[in-house]
A and B are shown apart, each in its own frame.
Chain A
Amino acid sequence: MMATIPSTLTQPWIRKRPFGRYAVVATVAILVLSPLLLIAYQSSLNGPFFAESSHFDTGAWRYVLGARQFWRAFGTSAIVATGMVGIGVPLGAVLAFIMVRTDIPGRRILEPAVLIPIFLSPIVTAFGYVVAIGPVGFISLWVKSLVGSVPWNVYGLPSLIVIAALTHVPHTYLYVSTALRSVNPELEEAARTLGAPPWRVALDISLPLVRPALLFSASLTFLLGFELFGLPLVLGDPAGLLVLTTYLFKLTTLLGVPSYQMMAVVALSIVVVTLPLVMIQRHLLGQASRFATIRGRGLALRPLKLGPWRWVALTIVVAWLLLTVAVPLGGILLRSVVKGWGEGVSLSRVLTLDHFRGLADYPNLIRGIVNTIALGVIGGAISVGCYLIVGLTQHRWSSRGVAVLDFMVLIPRAIPGLVGGLAFLWLILFIPALRPLRDSMIAVWMAYSTVWLAYGLRLISTALLQVGPELEEAAQTAGASPMRVRWEITIPLVRLGLIGSWLLIFMMFVREYSTGVYLFGAGTEVIGSLIVSLWGAGGLDLIAALSVVSVAIVSVALATALRLGVRLHD
């Protein structure tokens, strides 16, 4: 006799309306739209939104759009972004082709190294360049001792464009290399059997096949060019060069009085440029996935043999790594252990660890380091949890809600961290219930989580897509409710992906600097915003020490991620 199995399942099997899912969509919409709407609202007032006397007025718009300085900043942003595309995208495409399709020596070591700039804080990188190749930088003085003068100027438009382009090469590299990997090798082999040498294969077949990825990279680089803040703040500002973000940041100083409506107008005008770019990217990404060709059988493909040219290829990659990673990082490291630097100073005399000891003299700096780590570890984990909830909401749900959610998630990508931080500050001031959050890390965490929503969600959905639908369907047909399927099947299966996402979010939160600038206050310091404010005050010693701490934290996380085999990109 068999044991009796209950003939009915323990729970009543009624198809409910997915209220939970709708609630998530609504929450995301509120979180994403309210800061933006508040900025839009503020931009049409004649005073601060919280002042009783403020009323509707187009004066701020007329003033800003009539200001020459605004248009100059706008033009500079456009030039920088265009220059970044012009230099960074071809270089990124060449790097991707070299790394993915040729027999370049030392690929194993070079591959993760190429991605390092993504994890470096731009403000740290910018500072690194100043102390390495600035007017009295280590390399500048060394070159001066050789040739008598410094043949470059780190401040100003040309160097800003070049440095911004070099540091944004990994974005193009990521998308183009992923696309190149999905190209069926037979398509390239076919060209070779017809008589095409390697460089013609690259020009005629491989790169045209990844054209959507190239276009996507170009629009992404252009977008990032408009959102640039740390590099122009450090490299442009001293030369009197303003881009839109630094113009926004300096607006209070420029006008002499804090002007909410003007800030709102400038913030909104950045979003007016970036939002269409994000929409274009969404379209391009859809095209890119359609374009992807199915890979042939798992053949060991013979990489293109470059012969003696492989040393040329290696030189290109190493030269870029030296310029983009070694120079700024070396600069910071060196600057953090010397008392001062100038012509004729000998290194052994000025070596010191005082700057690191100095950090301990400032409670706010120590608090900043602790806050940064806590924000990354605890805040990052909670953020991943939130992204997971949003990801699961989208997961295997065919409804108009998914389209709405898709759209909502894109919006933060168009909002530079500086603007996002500003919007959250205002939101907290605007909503009385949120006011206690002012000067708390919760406010900072909320702003960070929203600004990084699109990135985090992409990590999560990449992991969720790995789960075969039949694994979930099997549980469902066995009688598990949708909730139980998620809890007992889906989430355990994406465990490793979640840990990887946590590490990557941790790094992004540690690296982030601009979102915290407006939320910066006693008790809410983070390393990034501390560096920005110290830069204003000229505390080079402390900036160097803080930068090294920040790089060290990211390095530990990066090493852990590589050790665990976390994919650094989707």
Chain B
Amino acid sequence: MTDQTPVLTIESVEKSFGTTAVLQGVSVTLHEGEVVALLGASGSGKTTLLRVAGGLERPDAGRITIGSSVVFDASSAVDIPAEGRNLGFVFQSYALWPHMTVAANVGYGLRLRGASAADREARVLAVLERLGLGSLGSRYPHQLSGGQQQRVALARALVYEPPIVLLDEPLSNLDANLREEARAWLRELIVTLRLSALFVTHDQVEALAIADRVVLLNRGIVEQVGPPDSLYGDPKSLFAATFLGSNNVFPVTVDPTSRQSDGTAMVGCGPHRIRSHIRSSAGNTPASMAVIRLERVSVNPVLNMGTDWTTLELPLRTSLYLGERWEHVFDLHGHAFRAWGPRKLATGTHAVHLPVDGVWVF
């Protein structure tokens, strides 16, 4: 699906606002036909990185290349302004101009590129049709719903067929139920139009669902890059492991003598002994953190347990009803230990099973 021609290369970009270093040497590559998500908490620098790529923010150091041309290079003082980068940029607020109709908003980029009125009209209509907005060209932005506004913003950025589209939190202004629909729609659109897209999100589900690759940012540093499944299933750091999914995190001590060639070792948490995967060098120090995703924990399973499992007898503190499932909170040596189950549990102690490859120690 993606070939390996880079269309956007960001190299060692640094950016500070006053004394706050927002980007501390970030490198990201976007290949042709690829969708990359910049994922991170607020303050991770993801929006700044997108604005730097778009030319709306000037980095302090680094190099940015679009296609084969360098658009920013701190060492040679190249800085092509936003209007010279020929990108599509979709703003979080959509930034639709209230004094222009939908068609005028969408056609503005074509007007700047000197397209004839007839050509403009045809192409605006085509893109509006493609995005399901065919009849709305003569409306004004405030007459549209949030979802329609979002699609107009997208149409405006796509109409002149830029090689790259940058999207800032494209779905965050939509209602929760609309967002799930828009997720699938956006992914499908990007793939069928064979767009190269870089988008910012703080929503991990959005990142995992839409992107081919996810760049996880943490305080201005790239924490991990990879396809969604490897990021979720094979995190390289405690931050990456805990940022995604719903997790139990608890302190453990590693027993170095129990280490085996397959990377597993026994760890202790109070009286409990758990066989787990040592994920990083952190495992060499005795005091570490163990992480297990909630969906990997099973309570009183009917399966016949083999050696790949650790079974703990844990007292139940409380149970919460979440609708499609229950969340049970157990007591693990003073720490809350959560698990999901299909039904309510009786009070008392229950058998909690942890798969060895599901317990990661960092």
Contacts and interface: CB of A to CB of B under 8 A. Distances in A.
Interface string B66-96: 0000000000000001111111110111010
Given A187-B97, A205-B97, A302-B57, A192 B91 contact: no
A196 B89 CA distance: 13
A192 B108 contact: no
B33 interface: no
A442 to B, nearest CB: 50
Contacts of A208: 97, 99
Interface centre among B83, B92, B166 (most CB of A within 10 A): B83
A26 interface: no
B108 A194 contact: yes
Contacts of B54: 193
Contacts of B81: 192, 305
Interface string A284-323: 0000000101001000101001000000000000000000
Contact of A197 (B56, B83, B85): B83
A190 B17 contact: no
B83 A196 contact: yes
Interface in B76-134: 81-89, 91-93, 95, 97-99, 108-109, 112-113
Interface string B164-180: 00100000000000000
A184 B91 CA distance: 11
Contact of B98 (A195, A196, A209): A209
Interface in A186-205: 186-187, 189-197, 200, 204-205
A291 B55 CA distance: 28
Given A193-B56, A194-B108, A211-B99, A186 B85 contact: no
A211 B98 CA distance: 12
Contacts of A186: 91-93, 95
B46 interface: no
B338 interface: no
Contact of B88 (A187, A192, A193, A296): A193
Contacts of A195: 83-84, 86, 109, 112-113
Contacts of B157: 193-194
A190 B98 CA distance: 13
A208 B82 CA distance: 21
B7 to A, nearest CB: 16
Given A184-B95, A205-B97, A302-B57, A193 B83 contact: yes
B293 interface: no
B156 interface: yes
Given A193-B87, A200-B112, A302 B56 contact: yes
Q: Chain B interface mostly helix, strand, loop or mixed?
A: loop
Nearest to A191: B108
A184 B93 contact: yes
Contacts of A293: 98
Interface residues of B, number: 30
Interface in B13-33: 17
Contacts, number: 73
Contact of B99 (A192, A197, A209, A302): A209
Interface in B301-345: none
A196 B112 contact: yes
A444 B29 CA distance: 74
A193 to B, nearest CB: 4
A193 B85 contact: yes
Contacts of B92: 186, 296
A531 to B, nearest CB: 46
B198 to A, nearest CB: 13
A302 B58 contact: yes
A211 B84 CA distance: 28
A126 to B, nearest CB: 39
A190 B95 contact: yes
B66 to A, nearest CB: 13
Contact of A192 (B17, B82, B98, B113): B82
A209 B84 CA distance: 24
A291 B142 CA distance: 11
Contacts of A296: 92-93
Interface in B133-172: 156-157, 160, 166
Interface centre among A184, A194, A296 (most CB of B within 10 A): A194
Interface in B47-73: 54-58
Contacts of B166: 193
Given A194-B109, A195-B109, A187 B56 contact: no
B112 A194 contact: yes
B89 to A, nearest CB: 4
Nearest to B98: A293
A300 B51 CA distance: 12
Given A193-B85, A197-B83, A302-B56, 5 more contacts: A193-B55, A193-B82, A193-B89, A195-B84, A196-B112
27 contacts: A184-B93, A184-B95, A186-B92, A189-B56, A189-B91, A190-B89, A190-B91, A192-B55, A192-B82, A192-B83, A193-B82, A193-B87, A193-B88, A193-B89, A193-B157, A193-B166, A194-B156, A194-B160, A195-B83, A195-B84, A195-B86, A195-B109, A195-B112, A197-B83, A204-B108, A209-B98, A211-B99
Interface of B: 17, 54-58, 81-89, 91-93, 95, 97-99, 108-109, 112-113, 156-157, 160, 166
4 closest Cβ pairs, A-B complex: A193-B89, A186-B95, A194-B109, A192-B82
